[in-house]
Amino acid sequence: MNISLVQGDITDQRVDAIVNAANSSLMGGGGVDGAIHRRGGPEILAECRELRASRYPDGLPTGQAVATTAGALQARWVIHTVGPVYSRGEDRSHLLASCYRESLVVAASLGAVTVAFPAISAGVYRWPMRDAARIALSTVRQAWPAGSSVAEARFVLFDSAAYAVFEEILAESR
């Protein structure tokens, strides 16, 4: 198992699966979600609509993950997961951890070898980056499905500040 860090745009990644920090509607939004739908094209939204009409009439619950085509992206699949909105009054870490765990389960079920993750919940959903990085890295390390196809989890951090935080936490845990 290989955990790697890259600074950049997740939609530029050539990987088997790109994880999307979506919302439960699966109908798109800003941040990573907006970028993925813009670059991936309408095929992704079409599959999301089908999922809403079939498996998820009430939306994809927080902490769960589901795959669609990656459309025009340089990937085979987009794995949509819904991170929790950060709350100072309530510990929702288990839901954030669940996003990484469930995304890896979906990736393994597809036979994906390389998977790109954004810093889920650390944007619009306001999760503090350091804590988001700790949860992301420790969960991926612990939750790697045994005998899984997945060989690389690549964290794609949008700016140098986020990259530096992930680098520091990864170094601490090595």
The smaller minimum CB distance to ligand AR6, of residues 32 and 67, is found at 32
Stretch that binds ligand AR6, among 47-55, 66-74, 101-109, 154-162 (CB under 6 A): 154-162
Which residues on neighbouring strands pair with residue 116, listed in sequence order? 18, 154
Which residues on neighbouring strands pair with residue 66, listed in sequence order? 80
Taking CB under 6 A as the criterion, the residue among 15, 140, 156, 165 binding ligand AR6 is: 156
The single residue listed with the structure tokens 């990937």 is: 75
Q: How far apart are the first and last CA of the chain?
A: 13
- Does residue 111 interact with ligand AR6 by CB under 6 A? no
- Does residue 79 interact with ligand AR6 by CB under 6 A? no
Q: Are strands 17-22 and 77-82 parallel, antiparallel or unpaired?
A: parallel
CA distance 39 to 87: 31
Sorted by sequence, the CB contacts under 8 Å of residue 50 that are 6+ apart come out as none
Stretch that binds ligand AR6, among 20-28, 57-65, 145-153, 163-171 (CB under 6 A): 20-28
Taking CB under 6 A as the criterion, the residue among 15, 21, 106, 107 binding ligand AR6 is: 21
Q: Is 16 a catalytic residue?
A: no
Taking CB under 6 A as the criterion, the residue among 45, 124, 143, 170 binding ligand AR6 is: 124
The smaller minimum CB distance to ligand AR6, of residues 9 and 168, is found at 9
The smaller minimum CB distance to ligand AR6, of residues 31 and 41, is found at 31
The smaller minimum CB distance to ligand AR6, of residues 84 and 107, is found at 84
153 touches 107 (CB < 8 A) = no
- Does residue 121 interact with ligand AR6 by CB under 6 A? yes
CA distance 41 to 36: 8
Taking CB under 6 A as the criterion, the residue among 11, 62, 103, 139 binding ligand AR6 is: 11
Element at 34 (helix H, strand E) = helix 31-40
CA distance 69 to 45: 9
Active site residues: 33
Binding site for ligand AR6 (CB under 6 A): 9-11, 21-23, 29-33, 35, 83, 118-125, 156, 158, 162
